[in-house]
């Protein structure tokens, strides 16, 4: 907004601007930060990327030449390491997704709550008087 | 900016509107407290069934509404509206297009408005800048921080300002800003713009006033501060405030990310052996938190870039011990831990390997090799380790059979190229040149990242931070002046370590001194000189007081030792006074002179006299015979190399407060002379080990007898003295002895005259008087006769050597017989003696 048009605003229009534009914008930004941070905290993108990686780098060498028994042993061990990795990662991913959903709804409540704050206040006063 | 473009109409700003509304919002703030208390009690009564829920609900809503309105006032109304993309630079370049008042903060507008109202009430003809300052001091927040740290008395200054503005008289009020007020406003805008702020605040006005307001200036002078210092103090306070405020905003990404993350290392391997022999900096920082790093921003970014690369991703961190190499590693660990670095290295572990403990726990070289192999293997397999090895150069040399020496370069060379292996080696320049560079196999796999010494400004900021921590710990206040003198003195007199270490060490030393001897809860600036004097053995306080006296009196002082040479001494004194009083704009040494003239006329003696009067002793002199530096291959002997210490550089580094005497300057190789161009110009030189050697506290004197024949001839022909100098310089340039650019860089080229007979007689007297003084201690009176003086002059004077022989002749002809007579008991206490000039026998006069 330029200075000229801002100067024309009176205090009421400033209040409306603040209520319905300034603060919601900030809430949206904070909400986005929390959503993004939650995924980062549970390392969801990284875990998905390395979903089938060996668990803590445990892997068995297939060795030189071909020996079926040794090959099969290495294969099974490596598969177990990968499966274990995927299993444990799944848990963290699930946790991460659950909290993500919770944060989404909390943010939504806050956002809408702020938007309807004037009405909510009026209703609260109305009920307060009624209770008296 | 001229005054025609000055448009400061505060009444037409949104902020002024907010100012008008502020009494209402102040009332709301007060009501908020009452509503909150009422809500608390009504809720309590509701719980105990004394009241129904309606009251609680109504008070809750009312307090919420008042909080809401308070926030609306604080966050919206009070803040000036700044258009998107606008910067104060636009305001500075086109002030006529704007109402400047639109860009001032609420508090600043409030203070200026009060100044206007005050002027109106007192019917003043214009709005005085002191009135603005007075109301700024009244309105400003956190000014105590700035004033107490500057040892300024805020209340006293306010009182003085108040008295002054109440003494102002006028006939009719006009809303015109005085010339100084306009200056203050423009200056404040510039100051805010420099800090890349969007709004001008009271602090900026304060800094501007410190440059303009007379009362403020006087107070600053009393506490030995300059306007820049007020700027620094304000910067310090603002940085602190900003940090605290940033930390409060928990929803910001920067703060959230500090909570860390889990599962980042699930794909990474375990490092069991490495963990045994290492410190995991990532873990340490997670546990203890981390203070902000100041400076070294470029080096840190360079380090990150190197580590993030596909190829050549190992870094060699080169810097002097104490320049903050370890802090840089900590800063890296912090950024990497919080994922604020480059994606390739984010969330990796920074692990410092302790090679010495590997050595200590092993029985044989083979065992050491086996353990290291395992450690490097683990680090490479884990894939998330950035290995750090301190004192890296110690471990890449060939073992010479000595105990505890190990060469890990063979094993390391195989791992360094691996994509999953990253290493940071820490080394000093010395280690780099002496050891690492001799191992190109390793050096080629690493990129050098230089950690430069911090600047004085950065060190002041670091000390500011440290000072706050120390104040909490020791309950003593550390004023800004103390910090400033710590930086000043450690920069000048402490050369063992670079900034910031030497300054931090000194701060600790001064704090300990205060705890022991200090009478007040303040760490006084004078303690700094005391501690530095103790460390360096240089009588600092005295030197500073003495310097003034010495400078004013230099001619007389030198004449105590030097006979005649009026012009020369006058010129040296004038040049030194110019250089030291700050009249000359310069970066070079304290003074640099070229002494020209025949041998034995007092050139070296003058240098010695300067060393004695200026630095307290003749011994504070580094004397080099430049005829020893006739070949290019002599350069390393002068400025050092990995094999040897530099005769000049090392001595200046160890003893920076000294006189450097370069005898027979013309005999040095021209390229060696060129080295001095930079010393004279910039005041420093890079030595053979890449260290910056500071010459700003030295006086450099080069002597030469080049072209002395010209002087002799000129005197014979009785040419005017000024012309002699011109002729001599012409001769020197013509013969190519010195290049003009070298001569021009000296503060003064001083020509010494050959000595006349009278001078020689005086010198003989000076020397004989020395003997007389010694004898008088034994209560023997030595009478100096004119004939004796003449004989000595006759025996010792040669046109080529001047008076050089005289000291020897006095020793031989007078000193020796005297010694003999004393030992043999020929002369006794109470005797009065004379020396016969013919055969130098000793006569006792009764």
Name B280's bridge partners.
B351
Measured torsion, CA atoms of residues A117, A120, A126, A130, in degrees rounded to the nearest 10:
-140
Number of Cβ within 10 Å of residue A107's Cβ equals 17
Specify whether the backbone of B563 is left (phi greater than 0), alpha (psi in -120 to 50) or beta: beta
- Give the nearest partner residue to A30 out of B83, B251, B268, using CB atoms: B251
Tell me what pLDDT residue B842 has: 86
Examine the pLDDT at B533 and tell me if it is beyond 70.
yes
Query: Which residues in chain B (240-279) have CB-CB distances under 8 A to chain A?
Result: 251-253, 256-257, 259-270
Examine the pLDDT at B401 and tell me if it is beyond 70.
no
Q: How far is B58 from chain A (nearest CA, A)?
A: 5
Contacts of residue A125 in chain B, CB cutoff 8 Å? Answer: 57-58, 61
Which residue does chain A place closest to B63, by CA atoms? A121
Cβ of B12 within 8 Å of Cβ of A7? The answer is: yes
Banded pLDDT at A8 (limits 50, 70, 90): confident
Mutating which of A28, A46, A60 best tests the B interface, going by the most B Cβ atoms within 10 A? A46
Joined tokens for residue B269: 């391997």
Cβ of B77 within 8 Å of Cβ of A14? The answer is: yes
Kindly state the DSSP code that residue B602 receives in the 8-state scheme. S
Q: How far is B441 from chain A (nearest CA, A)?
A: 30
Specify the residue for token string 């509503």.
B35
Distance CA B159, CA B152 (A): 13
Is residue B698 within 8 A of residue B656, CB to CB? The reply is yes
Highest mean pLDDT among A25-39, B42-56, B69-83: A25-39
Tell me what pLDDT residue A2 has: 65
Examine the pLDDT at B346 and tell me if it is beyond 60.
yes
Q: Residues 6 or more apart from A131 whose CB is under 8 A from it?
A: B52, B53, B54, B57
Which has more confidence, A97 or B716?
Answer: A97
Examine the pLDDT at B740 and tell me if it is beyond 70.
yes
Contacts of residue A132 in chain B, CB cutoff 8 Å? Answer: 52, 54-55, 58
Range B561-576 average pLDDT: 82
Report the candidate in B659, B674, B595 with the shortest Cα–Cα distance to residue B629: B674
Contacts of residue B61 in chain A, CB cutoff 8 Å? Answer: 121, 124-125, 128
Kindly state the DSSP code that residue B265 receives in the 8-state scheme. T
DSSP H or E stretch at residue B426: strand B422-427
Contacts of residue A53 in chain B, CB cutoff 8 Å? Answer: 266-267
Q: Strand, coil or helix: what is B693? A: strand
Banded pLDDT at B552 (limits 50, 70, 90): confident
Banded pLDDT at B2 (limits 50, 70, 90): low
Kindly state the DSSP code that residue B200 receives in the 8-state scheme. B
Range B413-419 average pLDDT: 93
Joined tokens for residue B641: 């190399």
Number of Cβ within 10 Å of residue B347's Cβ equals 20
Mean pLDDT, rounded, of chain A: 91
Query: Which residues in chain A (89-128) have CB-CB distances under 8 A to chain B?
Result: 89, 92, 117, 121, 124-125, 127-128
Contacts of residue B339 in chain A, CB cutoff 8 Å? Answer: 40
Could you give the count of Cα atoms lying within 13 Å of B54 in the half-sphere of its Cβ?
Answer: 9
Is residue B580 within 8 A of residue B590, CB to CB? The reply is yes
Cβ of A132 within 8 Å of Cβ of B55? The answer is: yes
Tell me what pLDDT residue B690 has: 78
Name B104's bridge partners.
B200
Cα R_g (chain A), whole angstroms: 28
Query: What backbone torsions phi and psi does residue B213 show, to the nearest 5 degrees?
Result: -75, 130
Q: For chain B, say whether A12 makes contact (Cβ under 8 Å).
A: no
Q: Degrees (nearest 5) of the Cα angle B149, B150, B156?
A: 105
Cβ of A55 within 8 Å of Cβ of B266? The answer is: yes
Among the residue ranges A107-121, B442-456, B718-732, the one predicted with the least confidence is: B718-732
Q: For chain B, say whether A46 makes contact (Cβ under 8 Å).
A: yes
Mutating which of A5, A8, A11 best tests the B interface, going by the most B Cβ atoms within 10 A? A11
Q: Degrees (nearest 5) of the Cα angle A104, A108, A109?
A: 120
Banded pLDDT at B430 (limits 50, 70, 90): confident
Which residue does chain A place closest to B56, by CA atoms? A128
Cβ of B267 within 8 Å of Cβ of A58? The answer is: no
Cβ of B60 within 8 Å of Cβ of A2? The answer is: no
Banded pLDDT at B543 (limits 50, 70, 90): low
- Give the nearest partner residue to A121 out of B64, B81, B270, using CB atoms: B64
Specify the residue for token string 């009405």.
A119
Mean pLDDT, rounded, of chain B: 88
Range B347-358 average pLDDT: 93
Is residue B594 within 8 A of residue B749, CB to CB? The reply is yes
Range B31-39 average pLDDT: 96
Examine the pLDDT at B504 and tell me if it is beyond 80.
yes
Is residue B559 within 8 A of residue B602, CB to CB? The reply is no
Which residue does chain A place closest to B264, by CA atoms? A43
Q: Strand, coil or helix: what is A54? A: coil
Which residue does chain A place closest to B81, by CA atoms? A3
Which has more confidence, B406 or B163?
Answer: B163
Please count the residues of chain A: 132
Tell me what pLDDT residue B496 has: 78
Which pLDDT tens digit goes with each residue over B595-638?
Answer: 998 888 888 889 998 888 877 788 889 999 999 999 999 999 99
Cβ of B65 within 8 Å of Cβ of A7? The answer is: no
Query: What backbone torsions phi and psi does residue B176 show, to the nearest 5 degrees?
Result: -120, 135
Q: Strand, coil or helix: what is B596? A: strand
Distance CA B515, CA B474 (A): 8
Cβ of B251 within 8 Å of Cβ of A50? The answer is: no
Q: For chain B, say whether A7 makes contact (Cβ under 8 Å).
A: yes
B311, burial (CB in 10 Å: exposed 0-12, middle 13-18, buried 19+): exposed
User: Interface pTM (ipTM) of the complex?
Assistant: 0.90
DSSP code per residue over B433-485 = HHTGGG-HHHHTTEEEEE-PPPPHHHHHHHHHHHHHHHHHHH--B--HHHHHH
Distance CA B472, CA B464 (A): 13
Tell me what pLDDT residue B558 has: 85
DSSP H or E stretch at residue B106: helix B106-121
Banded pLDDT at B402 (limits 50, 70, 90): low
Cβ of A14 within 8 Å of Cβ of B83? The answer is: no
- Give the nearest partner residue to A57 out of B53, B75, B269, using CB atoms: B269
Q: Strand, coil or helix: what is B749? A: strand
Is residue B206 within 8 A of residue B220, CB to CB? The reply is no
Q: How far is A124 from chain B (nearest CA, A)?
A: 7
Is residue B414 within 8 A of residue B408, CB to CB? The reply is no
- Give the nearest partner residue to A6 out of B81, B270, B383, using CB atoms: B81
Q: Strand, coil or helix: what is B352? A: strand
Banded pLDDT at B585 (limits 50, 70, 90): low
Joined tokens for residue B19: 């100012």
Which pLDDT tens digit goes with each residue over B757-805?
Answer: 788 888 888 888 888 888 888 888 899 998 998 888 888 877 667 777 8
Cβ of A131 within 8 Å of Cβ of B54? The answer is: yes
Which pLDDT tens digit goes with each residue over B485-502?
Answer: 999 888 878 877 888 999
Tell me what pLDDT residue B491 has: 84
Domains recognised in chain B with CATH numbers:
12-241 (1.10.1780.10), 272-450 (3.40.50.300), 456-536 (1.10.8.60), 545-751 (3.40.50.300), 757-845 (1.10.8.60)
Could you give the count of Cα atoms lying within 13 Å of A86 in the half-sphere of its Cβ?
Answer: 9
Mutating which of B24, B101, B267, B344 best tests the A interface, going by the most A Cβ atoms within 10 A? B267
Q: Strand, coil or helix: what is B564? A: coil
Q: How far is A71 from chain B (nearest CA, A)?
A: 21
Query: Which residues in chain A (62-81) have CB-CB distances under 8 A to chain B?
Result: none
Examine the pLDDT at B3 and tell me if it is beyond 60.
no
Name B422's bridge partners.
B386
* Strand-pair category, B781-783 with B832-835: parallel
Tell me what pLDDT residue B451 has: 93
* Strand-pair category, B278-280 with B658-663: unpaired
Query: Which residues in chain B (3-22) have CB-CB distances under 8 A to chain A?
Result: 12-14, 17, 21
CA quadruple B83, B85, B86, B88: dihedral positive or negative?
positive
Kindly state the DSSP code that residue B345 receives in the 8-state scheme. T
DSSP H or E stretch at residue A35: helix A23-41
DSSP code per residue over B784-818 = PPHHHHHHHHHHH-BTTTBTTTHHHHIIIIIIHHH
CA quadruple B653, B655, B659, B663: dihedral positive or negative?
negative
Banded pLDDT at B714 (limits 50, 70, 90): confident
Report the candidate in B606, B598, B564 with the shortest Cα–Cα distance to residue B748: B606
Specify the residue for token string 């190109």.
B440
Range B371-397 average pLDDT: 92
Cα R_g (chain B), whole angstroms: 37
Query: Which residues in chain B (314-353) have CB-CB distances under 8 A to chain A?
Result: 339, 347
Examine the pLDDT at B136 and tell me if it is beyond 90.
yes
Mutating which of B28, B263, B271, B274 best tests the A interface, going by the most A Cβ atoms within 10 A? B263
Distance CA B303, CA B315 (A): 7
Contacts of residue A17 in chain B, CB cutoff 8 Å? Answer: 76
Q: Number of CB pairs < 8 Å for A and B?
A: 118
Cβ of B261 within 8 Å of Cβ of A55? The answer is: no
Q: How far is A67 from chain B (nearest CA, A)?
A: 25
Number of Cβ within 10 Å of residue B748's Cβ equals 18
Range B804-831 average pLDDT: 86
Report the candidate in B141, B139, B112 with the shortest Cα–Cα distance to residue B128: B112
Highest mean pLDDT among B305-314, B460-469, B570-579: B305-314
Tell me what pLDDT residue B398 has: 61
Which pLDDT tens digit goes with each residue over B433-481?
Answer: 888 888 888 999 999 999 988 888 889 888 988 898 899 999 999 999 9
């Amino acid at each position: 907004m330029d200075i000229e048009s801002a100067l024309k605003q009176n205090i009421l229009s400033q209040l409306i601007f603040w209520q319905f534009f300034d603060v919601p914008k900030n809430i949206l930004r904070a909400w986005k930060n929390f959503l993004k941070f939650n995924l980062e905290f549970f390392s969801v993108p990284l875990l998905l990327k390395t979903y089938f990686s060996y668990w803590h780098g445990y892997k068995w060498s297939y060795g030189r030449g071909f020996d079926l028994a040794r090959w099969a042993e290495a294969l099974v061990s490596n598969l177990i390491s990968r499966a274990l990795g995927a299993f444990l990662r799944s848990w963290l991913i699930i946790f991460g997704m659950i909290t993500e959903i919770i944060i989404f709804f909390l943010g939504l409540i806050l956002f809408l709550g702020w938007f309807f704050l004037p009405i909510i206040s009026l209703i609260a006063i109305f009920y307060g008087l009624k209770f008296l | 900016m001229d005054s025609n473009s000055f448009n400061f109409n505060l009444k037409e700003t949104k902020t002024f509107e907010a100012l008008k509304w502020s009494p209402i919002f102040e009332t709301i703030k007060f009501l908020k407290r009452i509503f909150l208390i009422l809500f608390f009690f009504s809720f309590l009564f509701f719980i105990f069934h004394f009241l129904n829920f309606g009251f609680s609900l109504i008070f809750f809503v009312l307090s919420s509404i008042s909080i809401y309105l308070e926030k609306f006032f604080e966050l919206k109304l009070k803040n000036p509206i700044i258009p998107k993309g606008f910067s104060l630079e636009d305001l500075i370049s086109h002030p006529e297009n704007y109402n400047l008042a639109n860009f001032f903060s609420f508090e600043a507008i409030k203070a200026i408005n009060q100044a206007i109202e005050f002027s109106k009430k007192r019917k003043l003809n214009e709005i005085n800048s002191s009135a603005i300052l007075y109301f700024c001091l009244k309105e400003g927040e956190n000014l105590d921080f700035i004033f107490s740290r500057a040892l300024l008395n805020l209340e006293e200054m306010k009182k003085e300002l108040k008295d002054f503005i109440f003494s102002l008289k006028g006939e009719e009020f006009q809303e015109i800003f005085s010339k100084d007020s306009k200056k203050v406003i423009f200056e404040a805008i510039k100051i805010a713009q420099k800090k890349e702020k969007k709004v001008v605040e009271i602090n900026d006005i304060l800094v501007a006033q410190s440059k303009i307001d007379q009362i403020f200036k006087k107070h600053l002078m009393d506490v030995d501060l300059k306007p820049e210092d007020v700027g620094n103090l304000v910067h310090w306070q603002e940085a602190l405030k900003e940090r605290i405020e940033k930390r409060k905003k928990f929803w910001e990404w920067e703060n959230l990310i500090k909570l860390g993350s889990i599962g980042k290392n699930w794909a990474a391997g375990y490092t069991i052996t490495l963990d045994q022999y290492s410190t995991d900096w990532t873990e340490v920082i997670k546990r203890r938190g981390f203070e902000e790093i100041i400076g070294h921003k470029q080096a840190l970014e360079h380090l990150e870039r190197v580590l993030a690369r596909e190829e050549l991703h190992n870094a060699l961190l080169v810097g002097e011990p104490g320049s903050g190499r370890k802090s840089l590693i900590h800063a890296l660990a912090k950024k990497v831990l919080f994922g604020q670095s480059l994606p390739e290295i984010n969330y990796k572990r920074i692990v410092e390997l302790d090679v010495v403990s590997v050595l200590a726990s092993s029985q044989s070289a083979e065992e050491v090799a086996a353990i290291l192999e395992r450690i490097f293997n683990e680090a490479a397999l884990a894939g998330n380790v950035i290995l750090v090895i301190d004192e890296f150069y110690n471990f890449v040399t060939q073992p010479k059979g000595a105990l505890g020496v190990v060469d890990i370069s063979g094993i390391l060379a195989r791992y360094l190229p691996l994509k999953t292996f990253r290493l940071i080696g820490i080394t000093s320049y010395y280690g780099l040149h002496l050891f690492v560079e001799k191992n190109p196999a390793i050096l080629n796999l690493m990129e050098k990242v230089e950690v430069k010494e911090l600047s004085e400004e950065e060190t002041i900021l670091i000390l500011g931070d440290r000072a706050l921590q120390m104040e909490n710990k020791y309950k003593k206040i550390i004023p800004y002046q103390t910090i400033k003198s710590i930086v000043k003195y450690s920069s000048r007199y402490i050369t063992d370590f670079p900034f910031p270490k030497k300054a931090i060490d000194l701060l600790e030393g001064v704090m300990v001194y205060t705890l022991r001897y200090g009478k007040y809860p303040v760490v006084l600036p004078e303690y700094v000189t005391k501690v530095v004097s103790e460390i360096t053995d240089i009588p600092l306080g005295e030197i500073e007081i003495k310097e003034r006296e010495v400078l004013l009196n230099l001619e007389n002082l030198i004449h105590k030792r030097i006979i005649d040479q009026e012009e020369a001494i006058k010129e040296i004194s004038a040049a030194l006074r110019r250089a030291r009083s700050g009249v000359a704009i310069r970066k070079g040494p304290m003074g640099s002179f070229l002494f020209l003239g025949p041998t034995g006329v007092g050139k070296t003696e003058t240098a010695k006299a300067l060393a004695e009067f200026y630095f307290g002793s003749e011994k504070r002199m580094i004397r080099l015979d430049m005829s020893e530096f006739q070949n290019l291959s002599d350069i390393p002997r002068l400025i050092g190399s990995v094999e040897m210490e530099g005769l000049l550089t090392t001595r200046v580094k160890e003893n920076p407060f000294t006189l450097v005497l370069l005898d027979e300057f013309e005999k040095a190789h021209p390229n060696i002379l060129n080295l001095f161009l930079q010393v004279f110009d910039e005041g420093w030189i890079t030595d053979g080990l890449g260290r910056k050697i500071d010459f700003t506290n030295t006086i450099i004197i080069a002597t030469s007898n080049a072209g002395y024949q010209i002087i002799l001839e000129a005197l014979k022909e009785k040419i005017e003295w000024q012309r002699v100098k011109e002729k001599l310089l012409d001769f020197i340039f013509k013969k190519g002895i010195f290049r003009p650019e070298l001569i021009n860089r000296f503060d003064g080229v001083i020509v010494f005259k050959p000595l006349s007979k009278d001078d020689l007689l005086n010198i003989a007297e000076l020397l004989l008087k020395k003997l007389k003084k010694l004898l008088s201690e034994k209560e023997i009176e030595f009478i100096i006769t004119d004939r004796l003086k003449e004989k000595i002059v006759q025996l010792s004077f040669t046109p080529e050597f001047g008076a050089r022989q005289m000291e020897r002749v006095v020793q031989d002809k007078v000193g020796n017989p005297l010694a003999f007579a004393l030992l043999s008991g020929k002369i006794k206490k109470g005797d009065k003696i004379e020396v016969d000039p013919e055969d130098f026998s000793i006569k006792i006069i009764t």
